């Protein structure tokens, strides 16, 4: 219990640490539908503990503000009406100060509850709440970068989450044909979409031990990668045409040289670092151009013990589908994953902004194929 | 000169007084394209003095920040590129604090300039700048109301700009057929669209000495005003259908009774007050239902000495067109009015949020026919 | 009566003559919302006689097909539901053959009715029906040109409606300041929007006796007319930017020379002919560039006896507003004009595709400011 | 060779037989982007033989009309520019008659070529061309139904392709856990996406031997299937909300009873027939409501020898992804399948409108998850 309490407290304060460098003005905007205002993340991750732990299970708990459930529910249709996602950026009230007061109130109530009579059957929900907040920490990192990276003067943001160069030789890891086990097997925490451990049959393949670098990606751009439809899915080609894309997100050509916003400001692209902020469409096109392909999520999981991972989420060629035997939990908690299992692509690994205990090689992250604001990268297979 | 200096100082501080009740968060959002963030108004009205007075004419003036021209230019294509209107609400930087610093810097520089060697040929530009800022004060009033009136909990905003009941008997003022003079004739300040004094020929008509009240408007609603297309322009009918409108802006039916947001909170509609926040489409439909019509802007101007006006801008049946002999000034200043003279309707009068010296019966305000967030009302003619 | 019957018969056959060169396939499409399928015009102008004359007033008349009222009602909300305008081009049934059968049935029934007991109180409705069909003949001319002019190979269409060169010297006709009479005064047919003859006061002005030619318009293009925002309304500038317009409708640059579709095919622009297919925005911008302006509709009407007109509808600077004393008729007929009196601009004159008896100098045509498929031209004033 | 020639001739005439009941007007419209005009199918399937066989390989062949390549190329970016899909319905020229002339010309030239010196290395392209035209026959069936089913009066269309009742008892076919072979193995024709035969590991499952019926689907509707978000993917729920869907495509409630357009007209739903015209979203929601699931495409393929299939394409829970070892062919032919392998769902089986030789249990059909105009149905697994 002490460990969980500490973990809880640490998670709560880590979320706030991420927001510490922000100005009040940065907290409330929603520049695109995928990016939520930081204020909203602070409140929503708080609401989760109030809604699923304190309110139903702590008899003395007094709800902070009954209207907040309406404001800060994200997508749980089972828990009543909610602010539609496109309108999150129009809420100037409650203010940032009020949201921090709400956080403090709920954090204190949770710590009290954890000190005394916390029922052991709630531990899974607590763990889910912590992991849920950790997921929002990562989304916060994406959203803060997007908000600041689109300000006219590229303000700087202090963070320890920095990419590093992969200083080792390129190798291809071979996987032998055969039947392999897939999925989460231990009794530690995992999300429902990792459960249903099962066997898959893999063909021979080999996977790179390194991520694709900016240097390689610039080569792709300069070879006409964004102007030759043969490398692209039909839908990807339409997407880059309609949005006039010619490089990863945050890249700008300044006086003929590629620069990007890397949270210190607008700086020249570091060619040795892994390429970041590419969509699935771009990852696929790059692989086609190389005459290679992306690994499936199963190949990735099987090979993952043989290479370093964790700097960037890695696009796989696998669509996000339920594992055999996947079942949705009853009620709101059941809405967590299952309802997104269509028209999304799986990413495996972790990123520099993933909470450390959140990293495991069975973790199934997923995003729509056109998104680029996540911390995504490319690993090739053949 | 002293008078103008005082007027300048008073205008600058009045703009800031309007924003005093706001929270930092309220300053930066743009909930709909027509509503600009308060922060933007503060900066844009400042930029005007820097751009057209200090920078070209005060030799010692040091521009505060060369990038601000890009950020805070509104629509003057002649003065370089500008932030597109739909993106104003995504600028979290410069912060509110930085914008106030910019204001103070420019205000101080202007006051210095006014103290000493202010060239008399700049007085017209100074007057335009003051009137321009007064116009933005009124837009600020509209925009602040819109931002707060769309918060889930209807926060209160302190203001002295309040409607009052017209406690006098209804009469119709008759205008005799004949030739009348129209337009600004004295040598006091006016906008270019009021110049070109000229004659018009009016037919006999009579105009109400009172504005339409909420009680009368509720009668219209209850008589099926919003469900009978015969009262509406084809375009107005489409507009209320597509937007599912059934009442003026800010009106909500709570437990069967009409309420509205009046800046103190969500309160029952005061039936004796003039109806406010109607579009031209609604004003026209109301008049049709009454078997009457809206006055033309010329009828209004001729009759205006015979009734009280100034609580709300009054929709007229006149499209916004240039007066005979209207000419655009050269360069950016010439963009002020002429380029909007199409597909807009003229409003006459003034509102509770109009700067006092800004009220004159030749003033030609104009807005698109579907807009409702302005402080607009209805006066009938026949 | 004989004259009206002949006029009716002639109108009906003229509509069909316009369609004679079409292929069956050309009759059913609606390439943009403003363009109706020719089949629809054929049926709608027929439905008018059935709906407003035969069905209510001819006791023995048997409605051809009760469903046709639903299909071929254009915008008369008072006469029940109707096919929404954007869906007109999806109706493949009834077929063209069936629509002609419907036309013949109604024409025959009308001729019978006109032979015998046609009640004199219906003559105004009959005249309206004939004028209504003549209006649709003109729209048919626009729509057929649009349909064929957007086919990949520019098919030819035989028509006698051709522009001719204005072979006379340019002069400016002066109008003296003073009070003038405006509006339809005789007891011949006119539309309701021309009634309400009244006085207006005009300032001195002068109007060109010639339309602007293609040569002059090419000069405007080559002088950067489409790239300098100073000539344009703000809304017009946005419109040409968003639609990437650089020339009138149907113009294409082929090997560096301007060509247009003129119903014979894609041919070099004839520089001596009047320029055609410009929007109000373009007409206004052209005038600004010339340092002149468009006439008001009243100036046009007063001056019209002094110049030749009738080749193209001429954009005026007047918004489409009701005349003093304008009243809508009760019921569906009242929907004819009044409900469009907002956000439209008046055109005066007539075009090569206007029915001869349809031309009079009090006629008030009107279209939205961005439309270009009508047969519109430019006459300058100053 | 004789067989192939006969097959070719039979395919060409079968396409035309499908169009025989149409009126000329039905050939040219494109009511939604997914539905192509029948005229376009007739021409496009012809263009394929001209483009890939006659023009490059038959030395004496004279291209019918060089512009047709531009008009009737569908999506082969490698073969030059093409008419954008949304504009296909605006081409009234070439006329239907001209398109049939083009068909006859190319058919005759192909038959000549097949009589004499047809090079054996072209047989794969010929087979692809025939299979390609067979695919378009099926799309024609969908598109014709859509065009006619959206006419106001539901015209009848003669066809032998009719659903029949599955008159046998419901059973569940069990599949044992283990490794299975998947993919096309013989040397008969198949598409490139079926190649790459490989092993997969399946868990125990059981699959229904019957398709879901209209009676069962009505039960789902009446149990609130379309109003309870718990059964739906988040994207599916948004889709049915935005489009106000409450039943399969072509269903209308008439006097309280479900009717549908079944190509004879608007008739009461036959409850014993398999349900048809559901999207993947609807198939998934139905299965969720039943507490079951859709089979994967591999389960389906393995079980398919144990049940009757071929009335409707059956949605599987598998996203459309390349098989291991899938490689795109060089050039235009390589654009056939690979570029669609994202955000699509696999359907297995065949429909009443599938060409008989086109049916095989390795065939991988695919469509976007929201589409309903295809001949799709539901088979459950658990």
pLDDT digits (tens, 9 = 90+) for D12-37: 999 999 999 999 999 999 999 999 99
User: Apex CA A115: angle with CA A112 and CA A120, to 5°?
Assistant: 110
Cα–Cα distance, B210 to B349 (Å, whole number): 13
Query: Are residue C28 and residue C127 in the same domain, yes or no?
Result: yes
D166 CB-contact burial (10 Å; exposed 0-12 / middle 13-18 / buried 19+): middle
Categorize the per-residue pLDDT at D163 as very low, low, confident or very high, splitting at 50, 70 and 90: very high
Query: Is residue C203 situated within a structural domain?
Result: yes
**Count of structural domains within chain A:** 2
Q: B21 and chain A: CB distance < 8 Å anywhere?
A: no
Cα–Cα distance, A146 to A35 (Å, whole number): 8
Categorize the per-residue pLDDT at D1 as very low, low, confident or very high, splitting at 50, 70 and 90: low
- Nearest CA distance, D370 vs chain A (angstrom): 11
Question: Measuring CA to CA, which residue among D201, D281, D202 is closest to residue D237?
Answer: D281
Residue A291 DSSP symbol: T
- Nearest CA distance, B155 vs chain A (angstrom): 8
Q: C71 and chain D: CB distance < 8 Å anywhere?
A: yes
Query: Is residue C88 situated within a structural domain?
Result: yes
- Token pair for C153: 């190979």
- Nearest CA distance, C341 vs chain D (angstrom): 32
Chains D and B touch (3+ CB pairs under 8 A): no
Contact A318, A298 (CB under 8 A): yes
CB pairs under 8 A between C and D: 75
Q: Of B114, B149, B184, which residue constitutes the final position of a domain?
A: B149
Q: D198 and chain A: CB distance < 8 Å anywhere?
A: yes
pLDDT of residue B84: 63
Query: Are residue D183 and residue D319 in the same domain, yes or no?
Result: yes
Q: B199 and chain C: CB distance < 8 Å anywhere?
A: yes
Chain B residues within an 8 Å CB radius of C345:
342
List the end-to-end C-alpha distance of chain B, in Å, as a whole number.
46
Q: Which of A24, A31, A93 shows the shortest C-beta gap to B90?
A: A31
Task: Tell me the mean pLDDT in the region B187-195.
Answer: 89
Q: Which chains lie within 8 Å of chain A at 3 or more CB pairs, if any? A: B, D
Helix H, strand E, coil C: the string for chain B is: CHHHHHHHHHHHHHHHHHHCCCCHHHHCCCCCCCCCCHHHHHHHHHHHHHHHHHHHHCCCCCCCCCCHHHHHCCCCHHHCCCCCHHHHHHCCCCCHHHHHHHHHHHHHHHHHHHHCCCCHHHHHHHHHHHHHHHHHHHHHHHHHHHHHHCCCCCCCCCCCCCCCCCCCCCCEEEECCEEEEECCCCCCCCCHHHCCCEEEEECCEEEECCCCEHHHHHHHHHCCCCCCHHHCCHHHHHHHHHCCCCCCCCEEEECCEEEEECCCCEEECCCCCECCCCCHHHHHHHHHHHCCECCCHHHHHHHHHHCCCCCCEEEEEEECCCCCCCCCCCCHHHHCCHHHCCCCEEEEECCCCCCHHHCCCCCCEEECCCCCCCCEECCCEC
- Nearest CA distance, B230 vs chain A (angstrom): 35
Task: Compare all CA atoms of chain A with the CA of D180 and give the residue at the minimum distance.
Answer: A201
Query: Is residue D157 situated within a structural domain?
Result: no
Q: Answer whether residue D41 shows pLDDT above 90.
A: yes
Task: Compare all CA atoms of chain D with the CA of C154 and give the residue at the minimum distance.
Answer: D93
Residue C125 DSSP symbol: H
Query: Are residue A232 and residue A180 in the same domain, yes or no?
Result: yes
Chain C residues within an 8 Å CB radius of D72:
none
Peptide bond into D286 cis (omega under 30): no
Q: D24 and chain C: CB distance < 8 Å anywhere?
A: yes
Chain A residues within an 8 Å CB radius of B151:
91-93
Query: Are residue A200 and residue A314 in the same domain, yes or no?
Result: yes
Query: Are residue B178 and residue B284 in the same domain, yes or no?
Result: yes
Q: Which chains lie within 8 Å of chain D at 3 or more CB pairs, if any? A: A, C
* Percent of chain A whose predicted confidence (pLDDT) is above 70: 95
Q: Answer whether residue B376 shows pLDDT above 70.
A: yes
Query: Are residue D127 and residue D216 in the same domain, yes or no?
Result: no
Q: Of C116, C149, C182, which residue constitutes the final position of a domain?
A: C149
Q: Which of B39, B70, B151 shows the shortest C-beta gap to A93?
A: B151
Three-class DSSP category at A202: strand
B338-347, C136-145, D102-111: least confident range: B338-347
Q: How many helices (H) and strands (E) does chain D have?
A: 10, 11
Chain B residues within an 8 Å CB radius of C342:
233, 235-236, 280-281, 284, 345, 369
Question: Measuring CA to CA, which residue among D70, B214, A311 is closest to residue C152?
Answer: D70
Give the mutation candidate from A319, A329, A344, A367 for the D interface (greatest D CB count, under 10 A): A319
Distance from CA of residue D142 to its chain's centroid? 8
The answer to whether D200 contacts A200, with C-beta atoms less than 8 Å apart, is: yes
Question: Measuring CA to CA, which residue among A314, A309, A312, A217 is closest to residue A260?
Answer: A217
Location of structure tokens 């009262």: B231
Cα–Cα distance, A6 to C361 (Å, whole number): 88
Give the mutation candidate from C21, C25, C31, C40 for the D interface (greatest D CB count, under 10 A): C25
- Nearest CA distance, A277 vs chain D (angstrom): 19
User: Apex CA C185: angle with CA C11 and CA C141, to 5°?
Assistant: 30
**If phi over 0 gives left and psi between -120 and 50 gives alpha, with beta otherwise, what is residue C137?**
alpha
Phi first, then psi, for residue C181 (nearest 5°) are -90, 140
Phi first, then psi, for residue C327 (nearest 5°) are -135, 140
pLDDT of residue B326: 84
pLDDT of residue D232: 96
Q: If residue A366 lies in a helix (H) or strand (E), which one and from where to where?
A: strand A365-367
Q: A340 and chain D: CB distance < 8 Å anywhere?
A: yes
Q: D23 and chain C: CB distance < 8 Å anywhere?
A: yes
Task: Compare all CA atoms of chain A with the CA of B22 and give the residue at the minimum distance.
Answer: A92
pLDDT of residue C117: 84
Per-residue pLDDT of chain C (382 residues; tens, 9 = 90+): 678 999 999 999 999 999 999 999 999 999 999 999 999 999 999 999 999 999 999 999 999 998 888 888 865 666 665 566 667 888 899 999 999 999 999 999 999 999 988 999 999 999 999 999 999 999 999 999 999 999 988 999 999 999 999 999 999 999 999 999 999 998 888 888 998 899 999 999 999 999 999 999 999 999 999 999 999 999 999 999 999 999 999 999 999 999 999 999 999 999 999 999 999 999 999 999 999 999 999 999 999 999 999 999 999 999 999 998 887 776 666 666 788 999 999 999 999 999 987 889 999 999 999 999 999 999 999 9
The answer to whether B234 contacts C343, with C-beta atoms less than 8 Å apart, is: no
Query: Are residue C226 and residue C303 in the same domain, yes or no?
Result: yes
The answer to whether B93 contacts A24, with C-beta atoms less than 8 Å apart, is: no
CA distances from A284 to A174, A294, C36, D147, D339 (A): 21, 7, 44, 37, 11
Q: What is the dihedral of CA D160, D163, D166, D170, to 10 degrees?
A: 150
Contact C319, C367 (CB under 8 A): no
In a 13 Å sphere around the CA of A114, the CA atoms on its Cβ side amount to 20
Give the mutation candidate from B78, B230, B238 for the C interface (greatest C CB count, under 10 A): B230
Q: Mind listing the pLDDT tens digit for each residue in D299-353? A: 999 999 999 999 999 999 999 999 988 877 766 666 667 889 999 999 999 999 9
Task: Compare all CA atoms of chain C with the CA of B198 and give the residue at the minimum distance.
Answer: C203
Q: Which domain holds residue B235?
A: 172-377
Task: Tell me the mean pLDDT in the region D248-274.
Answer: 96
Task: Tell me the mean pLDDT in the region B325-352.
Answer: 84
Bridge partners, C202 (sequence order): C178
CA distances from A255 to A224, A259, B67, B80, C39 (A): 19, 10, 19, 21, 58
Bridge partners, A259 (sequence order): A252, A268
ipTM attached to this prediction: 0.93
Query: Are residue D239 and residue D327 in the same domain, yes or no?
Result: yes
Q: Mind listing the pLDDT tens digit for each residue in B32-43? A: 999 999 999 999
Q: At what angle do helices B96-115 and B38-49 cross, to 10 degrees?
A: 30
Query: Is residue B16 situated within a structural domain?
Result: yes
- Nearest CA distance, B26 vs chain A (angstrom): 5
CB pairs under 8 A between B and C: 81
Q: Which of D24, D71, D148 shows the shortest C-beta gap to C24?
A: D24
Write down the pTM of the prediction. Answer: 0.93
The answer to whether C67 contacts D151, with C-beta atoms less than 8 Å apart, is: no
Query: Is residue D162 situated within a structural domain?
Result: no
Query: Is residue C332 situated within a structural domain?
Result: yes
User: Apex CA D370: angle with CA D368 and CA D372, to 5°?
Assistant: 100
Query: Is residue D382 situated within a structural domain?
Result: no
Location of structure tokens 């004419």: B57
- CATH code assigned at C56: 1.20.120
Query: Are residue A102 and residue A205 in the same domain, yes or no?
Result: no
- How do beta strands A376-377 and A313-319 pair? parallel
Peptide bond into B94 cis (omega under 30): yes
Query: Are residue D292 and residue D333 in the same domain, yes or no?
Result: yes
The answer to whether D28 contacts C28, with C-beta atoms less than 8 Å apart, is: yes
pLDDT of residue B74: 65
pLDDT of residue A233: 96
Q: Mind listing the pLDDT tens digit for each residue in B68-116? A: 887 888 656 665 555 666 678 888 999 999 999 999 999 999 999 999 8
Query: Are residue C115 and residue C179 in the same domain, yes or no?
Result: no
Give the mutation candidate from B30, B70, B151, B152 for the A interface (greatest A CB count, under 10 A): B152
Task: Compare all CA atoms of chain A with the CA of B66 and give the residue at the minimum distance.
Answer: A153
The answer to whether A78 contacts D230, with C-beta atoms less than 8 Å apart, is: yes
Contact B293, B379 (CB under 8 A): no
pLDDT of residue D74: 66
* Percent of chain B whose predicted confidence (pLDDT) is above 70: 95
Location of structure tokens 């088979």: D379
Q: D236 and chain A: CB distance < 8 Å anywhere?
A: yes
Query: Are residue B200 and residue B293 in the same domain, yes or no?
Result: yes
Q: Of A85, A114, A149, which residue constitutes the final position of a domain?
A: A149
Q: D157 and chain C: CB distance < 8 Å anywhere?
A: no
Query: Is residue C294 situated within a structural domain?
Result: yes
Q: Mind listing the pLDDT tens digit for each residue in D198-245? A: 999 999 999 999 999 999 999 999 999 999 999 999 999 999 999 999
Identify the segments of chain A with pLDDT beneath 70.
1, 74-86, 330-336
Question: Measuring CA to CA, which residue among A178, A102, A127, A149 is closest to residue A262?
Answer: A149
Please, which residues have CB within 8 angstroms of residue C365's CB and are 6 or more apart in sequence? C313, C346, C347, C348, C349
- Nearest CA distance, B28 vs chain A (angstrom): 7
Q: B84 and chain C: CB distance < 8 Å anywhere?
A: no
Location of structure tokens 């468009």: C294
Three-class DSSP category at C274: strand
Secondary-structure percent of chain A, ordered helix, strand, coil, rounded to 5: 40, 15, 45
Bridge partners, B180 (sequence order): B200
Q: Mind listing the pLDDT tens digit for each residue in A183-215? A: 999 888 888 899 889 999 999 999 999 999 999
**Using CB atoms and an 8 Å cut-off, which of residues 269-298 of chain C contact chain B?**
280-281, 284
Chain C residues within an 8 Å CB radius of D29:
28-29, 89-90, 92
pLDDT of residue D81: 59
The answer to whether D93 contacts C153, with C-beta atoms less than 8 Å apart, is: yes
- CATH code assigned at A353: 3.90.1580.10
Task: Compare all CA atoms of chain C with the CA of B295 and give the residue at the minimum distance.
Answer: C324
């Amino acid at each position: 219990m002490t460990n969980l309490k500490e973990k809880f407290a640490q998670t709560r304060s880590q979320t706030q640490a991420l927001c510490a460098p922000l100005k009040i003005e940065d907290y409330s905007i929603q520049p695109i539908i995928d990016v939520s205002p930081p204020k909203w993340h602070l409140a929503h991750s708080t609401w989760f503990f109030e809604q699923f732990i304190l309110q139903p299970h702590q008899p003395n708990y007094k709800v902070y503000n009954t209207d907040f459930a309406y404001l800060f529910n994200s997508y749980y249709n089972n828990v009543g009406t909610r602010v539609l996602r496109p309108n999150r950026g129009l809420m100037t009230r409650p203010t940032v100060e009020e949201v921090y007061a709400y956080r403090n109130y709920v954090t204190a109530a949770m710590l009290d509850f954890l000190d005394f009579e916390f029922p052991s059957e709630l531990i899974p929900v607590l763990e889910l709440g912590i992991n849920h907040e950790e997921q929002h920490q990562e989304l916060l990192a994406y959203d803060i970068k997007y908000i600041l990276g689109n300000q006219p003067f590229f303000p700087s943001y202090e963070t320890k989450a920095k990419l590093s160069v992969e200083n080792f030789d390129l190798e291809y890891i071979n996987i032998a044909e055969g039947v392999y086990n897939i999925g989460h097997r231990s009794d530690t925490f995992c999300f429902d979409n990792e459960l249903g451990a099962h066997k898959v049959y893999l063909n021979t393949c080999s996977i790179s031990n390194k991520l694709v670098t900016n240097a390689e990606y610039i080569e792709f751009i300069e070879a006409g990668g964004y102007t030759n439809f043969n490398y692209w899915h039909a839908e990807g080609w339409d997407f880059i045409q309609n949005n006039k894309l010619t490089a990863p997100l945050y890249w700008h050509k300044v006086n003929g040289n590629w620069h990007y916003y890397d949270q210190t400001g607008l700086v020249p692209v570091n060619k040795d670092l892994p390429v970041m902020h590419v969509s699935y469409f771009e990852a696929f096109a790059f692989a086609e151009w190389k005459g290679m392909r992306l690994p499936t999520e199963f190949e990735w999981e099987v090979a993952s013990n043989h290479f370093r991972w964790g700097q960037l989420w890695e696009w796989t060629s696998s669509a996000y589908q339920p594992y055999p035997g996947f079942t949705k939990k009853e009620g709101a908690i059941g809405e967590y994953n299952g309802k997104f299992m269509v028209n999304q692509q799986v990413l495996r690994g972790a990123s520099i902004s993933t909470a450390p205990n959140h990293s495991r090689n069975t973790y199934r992250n997923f995003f729509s194929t056109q998104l680029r604001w996540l911390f995504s990268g490319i690993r090739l297979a053949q």
